[in-house]
Amino acid sequence: MTDETLKRKITLPGLKKLFKLYRYIKPYRWTYALGLLFLLGSSAASLVFPKLLGELVDYGNKGQLTQEINRIALILIAVLIAQSVFSYFRIVLFVNVAEKTLADLRQSTFNHLVRLPMKFFQQRRVGELNSRISADITLLQDALTTTLAEFIRQIIIITGGVALMMVTSMKLTLFMLMILPLIMVLAGIFGRYIRKLSKLAQAQVADSNTIVEETLQGIQSVKAFTNEYFEMGRYKVKTLDIADTGIRNGKLRGAFSAFIILGLFGAITAVIWKGANLLAVGEIATGELFSFVIYTVFIGGTIGGMADVFARVQKFIGATEDLLEIFNETPEPVENLPELTPEQILQGGIRFEHLSFSYPSRKDQPVLHDINIDIKPDSLVALVGPSGAGKSTLVSLLLRLYEPGSGRILFDETCNQKIPLSVLRSQMAIVPQDIFLFGGSIRENIAYGKPHASETQIEEAARKANAWEFIQKFPEGMDTLVGERGTQLSGGQRQRVAIARAVLKNPKILILDEATSSLDSESERLVQDALEKLMKGRTSIVIAHRLSTIRQADLILVLDHGRIVEKGTHEELLKSEEGLYRSLSELQFG
């Protein structure tokens, strides 16, 4: 986090943006309003209490009848009971609103995140985003409901208390209020620094969460490279930074609290001294002075409590700013498609016209240059070339994970920009080299290709992918848990589960990223057989590193440095004595 970020000030338009989050309370506004009503009742009871105590002291001091003293005592008990009831319902109602609002906000944030384009995730780390959706939103829980309610209560106590004090004794009230401006100025100064450190602490917590997330996700690599102590060291540095920031924040808050306590007890001492002088000359009654002192304690304590509320508000503002940064990102126009209409179904024809592309984070480094390709429906097209040639980038553009810098992509003579994104992606499937499986069961992973598929359809997909045989051997069968990222399955088993997922989706366009490159001979045979079944009757685009798997391709495109340098069939490309394809073939087959 830069100093510039830390020095950002909250302007009036900025505050208006922050209050946009209160729209999440709107569905529960009547419950919230009722809670505010109980809050007002509780605050009013708090203000009546010192006044009645003063009257009780006056009656006793003047030697009034016991009957009057008992009457005031009964009223006090009634006020205490009313205040207790009001406080109970206030807390229950606000907690209900807080929990429901928090759930809505979490859902809204997650729904927005998963709809954001790939360029956003290239610039953010998973741990940071996870911190936003957990830690930052939790900070907002109190702010959206309890903190605001507490702030309102404190304002009522201060304004109501000062008004009643003025009625009791204007001289004493003006004397007591002389110290308030100094306290408020210092509160503003302390609050500004507390806010800076709170934002810094939130950023450091997000960084530490990122280290934990990445370490646990890549625990196999950590152990393989014996980097356990390296990761411990990284995390130690971050946690010590968090502790240091927290200690600095604690010192500031401690100094602030110390000043408030000094001011509070100093004010009480000064008020009693001044009140004693007024009592001596008969300008104030004993009960009035007693009530005044209690009001002074109430107001002083409330001002002291505002330090904590103010610190929570600062954290709320910091968390809200970070959250709004995510909401300000434009999501992809994805939609929930129950079923495709006949006119939305693709035939499988693809054409690239003068396509060029650079990644958003490296705009000065072109990845693809003037790509022109015409792919016929139901054909097998292979992409070959050295690493970094642009093969995977071409596939990403096909899936519209990124938008071309120039040129266009057409599906069945229709520009991809005119086809709804969800319509396009729903008819495409990819089987990557590095298979990602979710941590649930085999059934759940296969059904990911078609979430509402029947048990029969899932089993049929497993059979076509040559996965049914090994699934049956597991004691739990389809309910076998695959573990984090599928680590409980072998490489060949993971590939066949991924193929079954693609089979179930039944795409018109299939993308394969060398799905057999890291398998043993037996697994490769089973996976290759499953892939051949899967490729029938659909347009297939294969990223190939092993040329033996693409000899039967209808068209082979050879890429080098982001350009298509050769194209043709396997036999045609071997005829070129100086061609890159022939050189790659000779390297692999001697």
What digits encode the pLDDT tens for the residues 460-508?
Answer: 888 888 888 888 888 888 888 887 766 778 878 888 888 888 888 888 8
Beta strands in 74-183 (DSSP E): none
Rounded distance between C-alpha atoms, residue 149 and residue 364, angstroms: 52
Cα 26 vs. chain centroid, distance in angstroms? Answer: 22
Sorted by sequence, the CB contacts under 8 Å of residue 253 that are 6+ apart come out as: 190, 194, 307, 311
Tens digits of per-residue pLDDT, 534-584? Answer: 788 889 888 877 776 677 888 888 888 888 888 888 888 887 777 787 887
Rounded distance between C-alpha atoms, residue 437 and residue 498, angstroms: 8
Highest average pLDDT, of 131-140, 305-314, 402-411, comes from: 402-411
Rounded distance between C-alpha atoms, residue 513 and residue 499, angstroms: 12
Residue 46 banded pLDDT, cuts 50, 70, 90: confident
H or E segment and range at residue 87: helix 66-114
Per-residue pLDDT for 433 more than 80? no
What does DSSP say about strands 563-568 and 555-560: parallel, antiparallel, or unpaired?
A: antiparallel
What does DSSP say about strands 509-513 and 555-560: parallel, antiparallel, or unpaired?
A: unpaired
Residues above pLDDT 70, as percent of the chain:
80
Q: CA–CA distance from 5 to each of 21, 131, 179, 190, 506 (Å)?
A: 21, 18, 34, 19, 48
Q: In which residue are the tokens 């240059």 written?
A: 369
Sorted by sequence, the CB contacts under 8 Å of residue 241 that are 6+ apart come out as: 204
Per-residue pLDDT for 303 more than 80? no
Residue 415 amino acid letter: C
β partners of residue 564: 559
Least confident of 134-138, 214-218, 394-398, 471-475: 134-138
* Higher per-residue pLDDT: 17 or 431: 431
Residue 177: the pLDDT is 72
Residue 9 banded pLDDT, cuts 50, 70, 90: very low
Q: Which of 371, 359, 363, 401 is nearest to 559 (CA)?
A: 371
Residue 1: the pLDDT is 38
Residue 62: the pLDDT is 60
Residue 3: the pLDDT is 39
SS3 content of the chain, % helix, strand, coil (to 5): 65, 10, 25
Tens digits of per-residue pLDDT, 160-176? Answer: 777 877 777 777 777 77
Highest average pLDDT, of 131-140, 176-185, 394-403, 528-537, comes from: 394-403
- Burial (Cβ within 10 Å: 0-12, 13-18, ≥19) of residue 488: middle
- Answer for the pair 508, 429: CB distance below 8 angstroms, yes or no: no
- Answer for the pair 416, 408: CB distance below 8 angstroms, yes or no: yes
- Answer for the pair 139, 315: CB distance below 8 angstroms, yes or no: yes
* Domain residue extents for the chain: 3-327
Rounded distance between C-alpha atoms, residue 354 and residue 390, angstroms: 15
Residue 429: the pLDDT is 87
User: What is the residue-averaged pLDDT of the chain?
Assistant: 78
Per-residue pLDDT for 427 more than 80? yes
Domain 3-327 classification at class level: mainly alpha
- Answer for the pair 464, 537: CB distance below 8 angstroms, yes or no: no
Rounded distance between C-alpha atoms, residue 323 and residue 207, angstroms: 16
Mean pLDDT of the region 29-34 = 87
Alpha-helix residue ranges (DSSP H) falling in 170-227: 170-177, 180-217, 219-224
What does DSSP say about strands 380-384 and 539-543: parallel, antiparallel, or unpaired?
A: parallel
- Burial (Cβ within 10 Å: 0-12, 13-18, ≥19) of residue 392: middle
In degrees, to the nearest 5, what angle opens at C-alpha 565 toward C-alphas 559 and 570?
80
